[in-house]
Structure 1
Amino acid sequence: MASEDILVFLAVDKEFTSMDAIIKSLADFFQLKASKDPTDRFNVVFFLDQGPVFLEDFTFQYQLLVDKLNENKDKVAKPNLEGGLFIALTFILDIYKLVSGKYFRILVIRDASMPPITKDFLVNGLLDKVSQMPVFLDFIDVGVYQDDDEQKILNMINTSRGGELMYVTTFQELEDALKRQAEKKEIEVGLWDKGPNFDMEYEHKRFFEDLASDLQPVEQVTGDMKCTVCFQSTSPVCGTDALVQCPACKTPFHDCCLVSWAEQSNIGIGHVFRCPICFYLIDLPEFLVQDILNGKEESYEGFESFLEEIDQDALLMERDKKRELDLVQKELDF
């Protein structure tokens, strides 16, 4: 089962809810979830007077999140549900471009300080797009005795890949709800474990095509620079000497040599796929992929075992150990 990147949105106000109790419950949740799968990563979103803040990337080091929450617990301010969800979703979009094979989850812990929901249509529009990644959405309402927005929240959950709305009135009930949320989400098929004939729904294709980055031409080719797929200067597929590179890791390839990799690793759109080295979301010209796969050019079959040796989780863990992540603040557009 795929590992999960889970973002906890603390839609709470210190004037309504005990931050010490919330933080303790979250610390136990992070620890439990990490013990079930050490490849899961975590993040939090919460509001200060200046607006929403979150860690600049998902992290395996959940104690860092607990420390950041403790440092800011006396500053936590009244949240904006739609704004916080929109920040969470756009953040996940940025991360999706960088990593593959993940479930994304947003867990909202909400108290009675929330103002009425008025811009849920903005959240639902984005949820409809990212649900394909997939993105799951769950709510735990703490001490909310009359929920006039229940149907709007249920609509958001249904627009995502799925989730549930849970009501708790005590912190023991919150801890029990979080234990339930520590379990893995299950889904039959998606962009991370697709079958060989998986094809993305037509209405979502343009969104993901726009999300992917074009390969960049290598302007200066040095004498020892070769394609990372065929390990040759001249492509055995189409005879080109020209190299392109991933915009993220700068690894060089022949574009036509990448077609075989695109065929087996695309996200349900034949020319949109992951860089085989850094997993960044990239694309090839659609006509090139079609020409090679339709037999006008031969594809290259000699690199599959090399690619299978790359362990994304190990790379992410190693990078996480070397970084000093901090909170970043975003301004809301609405």
Structure 2
Amino acid sequence: MTDNNSNNFTTATEAWTAFAVGEAKGYAVDIAAELGLSEGELVAAGIGTNVVRLDADWGDFIPRLEELGQVKILTRNPSVVHEKIGTFGKISINGEMGLVLNHDVDLRLFLGHWGHAFAVETDNPRAGRRRSFQIFDHDGRAVHKIFLTDQSDEAAYDKLIGDFKADTQLPGIEVLPPLPKAVTLPDQDVDVENLRAHWRRMTDVHQYHGMLKDFNVGRQQGMRLAGPEFAERLSADALKTLLEKASESGISIMVFVGNSGAIQIHTGPIKTIREMGDWINIMDPTFTLHLRMDQVFEAWIVRKPIREGMVTTIELYDRDLNNFAIFCGERKRKDPENPDWQKLAESLPRLENTMAAVAE
């Protein structure tokens, strides 16, 4: 998220105080960046005033989020923001992996990346009073946020704060440098034919990540090397076409957005699509998506074999070739892919065809 306005704050405390009452310009992550800080460091500057540091065993804390009732959950990365309204439930925690499978609140949680947690309260003329739990990675980047709504149980929220409040409530946090990127094989060292053979033999979509890891290739690298049988580049306008056609058809789709510590999923039809500058937005009652179209450096259609046929995904990558969003059709386990979704996905314009048309 970006904002063209800038502030002239000199300290995190000054910046957070202004942000909390609506006197700062921009989003918290951008205000922090102006100071050379992570968002987590900015929020931590408010500890002792309107921010409470939490000390939680995630296996104890996450199941109790169901006590809040209806909430708005938010997961984002630098290119897209994914928001859902619903309730926690159907929660399982197994070591560093957490699952929440309560339909509207559908999350995959990678708890080894949950480094800092806060209860945060802000109050400003535009947004009003907002109370939330906010989780940050060890390097201070936002992982997941849970906002109260008018339907939430505020007493339950206060009880959770009381039960998980850290003993130390001094401002500030220590952050770690970002983790290094995974080292993958150079293209020329990859056994491409073997990669394609194993890709062809997949029987479950969840085998995909393990296959890439076995061959020590990155996600975008694997698609490039696998070739058009399995993956093809899409044109720059494919995303807009996808959303508009999905909205018009009423097809139930799945939208995945994630970061180091969480993947958040929407399942269902989408309806209201709005473009605002560089952003394309889904603006539905219980699901909103804000995606920066200028961050879509590459878009791909990807085909992953399963026992029941094929799963087709539309995947978006930024300039650093990081995957930041995935779209697919709703499919229940052991069911074949919805042919209407597959037809929609396969109808999207390919980059090669677009380039050829421009050259003519």
**TM-score normalised according to structure 2 size:** 0.22
**TM-score normalised according to structure 1 size:** 0.23
Between the two structures, name the one with larger relative contact order (CA 8 Å, sep ≥ 6). 1
